Amino acid sequence: MPLLETVGLSKSFDGLRAISNLDVDIEAGSIHGLIGPNGSGKSTFFNLVTGVYQPDPGSKIFFDGHDITRSPSHQIGALGIARTFQLLRLFSEMTVLQNVMVGYHTHVPYGFLSTIFNNSAIIKKDAETTDEMMELLEFIGLADYAGMPASELSGGQRRLLSLGRAMAMRPKLLMLDEPAAGLSPVNVENLLAIVMSLKERFGLTVLIVEHILKVVMETCDTVTVLDYGEKIGEGTPEEVKDDHAVIEAYLGQEMDDDEVRATFDS
């Protein structure tokens, strides 16, 4: 059974169909790529799955045996879906450590009264959480910056932190929205290496939206291609690369010489 499954997923904004009738299965343990030209509905898909947008009637989203079609975002997060944002959306005034500790929130249940009186159990729990989070920061290479406000990190470090914050939620499914955008090739390699090792270590399933096709082709097991909100191709990276419809969406229609001449003459 797939970990995440959408059935007939649709979303329209004032009549504009951003996603129409999309069926996607994401197998547990796989790295799944989602590609498509600008405006093809990739980010809308993310927002629908994480509950930022409400899908149109008739759509269904299942995650790990739960129907999450109408669940609010915070419940979806607690079930085990974590995501990063294209624009990162870090908690900029909070320290690096606090950023990841917020990510761990759903795993530290304690009440209001015990917080007020700050009893020893809470202090102990907080210290344990800190230990665990420092370990995570160590893993992604940000441990040295733990006490620094997130706004003072460099661009690459922020991207790592947004990944760390998502990982702190101990998710089953990690959704990365253009993780490599704006990174230099060396940093992209580094980031992918970290994602791969996190996947191995925690048995993650990963969904990547990415513009840099090289990243998708090298890392993904399965790739889904969207265009105008519809699925136009799916398969292994090799299969997708040779798919006629995909080439058309990315590079435009193949024309023979006569057609080209006709286009220019008119």
- Decide if residue 74 touches another protein (CB under 8 A): yes
Q: Is 105 in the site for another protein (CB under 8 A)?
A: yes
Number of residues lying near another protein (CB under 8 A): 42
C-alpha separations of 82 from 26, 113, 165, 184 in Å: 15, 29, 9, 25
Q: Cα separations (Å) of 11 from 19, 50, 74, 141, 223? A: 5, 14, 21, 39, 21
Residues in a beta bridge with 17:
12
H/E stretch holding 4: strand 4-13
Amino acid, res. 167: M
Q: Between residues 84 and 222, which has the closer beta carbon with respect to another protein?
A: 84
CB of 167 to another protein, least distance (A): 11
The answer to whether residue 113 forms part of the interface with another protein (CB under 8 A) is: no
Q: Does the protein bind another protein through residue 64 (CB under 8 A)? A: no
Dihedral pair phi/psi, residue 256, rounded to 5°: -90, 175
89/110 Cα distance (integer angstroms): 26
Query: Are β-strands 4-13 and 60-63 bridged in parallel, bridged antiparallel, or unpaired?
Result: antiparallel
Exactly one of 33, 55, 103, 179 binds another protein (CB under 8 A); that residue is: 103
**Alpha helices (runs of H) in the chain, residue ranges in sequence order:** 42-49, 73-79, 96-103, 112-117, 120-140, 155-168, 185-202, 213-219, 237-241, 244-251, 257-265
When binding is defined by CB under 8 A, the residue of 53, 62, 85, 228 that contacts another protein is: 85
Out of 102, 143, 212, 213, the residue judged to bind another protein by CB under 8 A: 102
Q: Can residue 54 be called a binding residue for another protein (CB under 8 A)?
A: no
Does position 33 interact with another protein (CB under 8 A)? The reply is no
Nearest distance from residue 85's CB to another protein, in Å? 7
Question: What strands, in cross-sheet order, belong to the sheet with 31-35?
Answer: 81-83, 173-177, 205-209, 31-35, 222-227, 230-235
Query: Which of 142, 169, 194, 207 touches another protein by CB under 8 A?
Result: 169
Of the candidates 39, 58, 66, 110, which one interacts with another protein according to CB under 8 A?
110
Q: Which is nearer to another protein, 179 or 233 (CB)?
A: 179
- Choice between 126 and 189, CB closer to another protein: 126
Indicate the residue among 72 and 252 with the shorter CB distance to another protein. 72
Interacting residues with another protein (CB under 8 A): 50-52, 72-78, 82-83, 85, 89-94, 98, 101-103, 105-106, 108, 110, 112, 115-118, 122-124, 126-127, 130-131, 134, 165, 169
